[in-house]
Structure 1
Amino acid sequence: MEQPVHHFSELFEQLGLASDAEAIEAFIQRHAPLPESVALHEASFWSPSQAELLRNALEDDADWAEVVDHLDASLRKP
């Protein structure tokens, strides 16, 4: 069975955030760079439910893991 492919904007929708390109860019600019010492799901700007979604996506190697990794990388850039 093939895993579904999720788009970056869909992750933002799952997180309850605006998902258009401008809003995503503004979110990343506002919160980057995330220090290497802080796990993505531990960042202070997530609600508990958002943090849980991100943590579970990575721990369970869910079909969301790739796009969550993309978000992590985007937030690490200065």
Structure 2
Amino acid sequence: MSQTRPRMTNLFEQLGLDSSEEAIALFIATHQLNAQTQITEAEYWTEAQRQFLAEKIKSDGSWAIIVDQLNESLHEDSVIR
């Protein structure tokens, strides 16, 4: 088992998305969710991406922490308001 802690770039790679810092920042800025929408309910995920995120959240391991960080980032606008 790998001892490497996953990072946001790893998460984006696993989701099949551009994992450059600029692309991650752009994705987060352009894919904000309202407070009532859970990360796994976002319209823009494919079914495979949705399942991956749900699995990682349930695992409650190091991947869950990264998914939670993405979740918080995608809800930044709804918290500010």
Q: Tell me the TM-score normalized by structure 1.
A: 0.90
Corresponding position of 1:51: 50
Does residue 8 (structure 1) correspond to residue 8 (structure 2)? The answer is: yes
- Deviation beyond 2 Å, 4+ runs, structure 1: 1-4
Following TM superposition, by how much is the alpha carbon of 1:10 offset from its aligned partner in structure 2, in angstroms?
A: 0.4
For the Cα contact (< 8 Å) 1:7–1:67, is it kept in 2? Answer: yes
Residues 20-77 of structure 1: CA deviation (Å, up to 9, x unaligned): 0000011011101x11211101100100000000011111213310000000000001
Show the 5 A alignment for 1:1-78: 4-32=4-32, 34-78=33-77
Q: Which amino acid aligns with 1:66?
A: I
- Number of corresponding residues: 77
Q: SS in structure 2 opposite 1:55?
A: helix
Structure-2 change in CA distance of 1:3 and 1:63 (3 Å): farther
Gaps of 5+ in 2: none
Gaps of 5+ in 1: none
Following TM superposition, by how much is the alpha carbon of 1:3 offset from its aligned partner in structure 2, in angstroms?
A: 5.6
